[in-house]
Amino acid sequence: MENKPTILMKKYELGRMLGQGNFAKVYYARNMKTGQSAAIKVLNKEMIVRVGLNEQIKREISVMRLVKHPNIVQLYEVMASKTKIYFAMEYVKGGELFDKVSRGKLREDVARKYFQQLINAVDHCHNRGVYHLDLKPENLLLDENGDLKVTDFGLSALLESKKSDGLLHTTCGTPSYVAPEVIKKKGYDGARADIWSCGVILYVLLAGFLPFNDKNLMEMYRKITTADFKFPPWFRSDAKRLLYRILDPNPRTRINIAKIMQSTWFTKGYKEIETPQLPPLSPTGHDVPDVQAIFDSSSSDSEDSPTAVKPYCFNAFDLISLSSGFDLSSLFEKDNSERQQAMFTTRKPPSTVVSKLEEIAMIDGRFEVMKKSWAVRLERSKAGNRDQLTIDTEIFEVTSSFYIVEVKKIAGDTLEYRKFWDQCLKPCLNEIAWVWQGYEQQQ
Distance CA 16, CA 353 (A): 20
41 is in an annotated binding site: yes
- CA-to-CA dists, residue 261 to 136, 235, 289, 298, 301, angstroms: 20, 19, 35, 48, 49
Distance CA 384, CA 433 (A): 33
Distance CA 307, CA 128 (A): 37
Q: Which amino acid, one-letter code, is at 346?
A: T
Rounded to the nearest 5 degrees, what angle is found at the Cα of 39, between the Cα atoms of 35 and 42? 125
Distance CA 106, CA 344 (A): 29
- CA-to-CA dists, residue 443 to 18, 92, 144, 282, 329, angstroms: 20, 21, 19, 48, 20
Q: How far is CA 362 from the centre of its chain?
A: 30
Q: Give me the catalytic one of 123, 134, 143, 304.
A: 134
- Strands, E assignment, 74-200: 75-80, 84-89, 130-131, 140-142, 148-150, 157-158
152 is catalytic: no
Closest CA to 285 of 76, 72, 68, 62: 62
Binding residues for ATP: 41
Residue positions annotated with a catalytic role: 134
Binding residues: 41
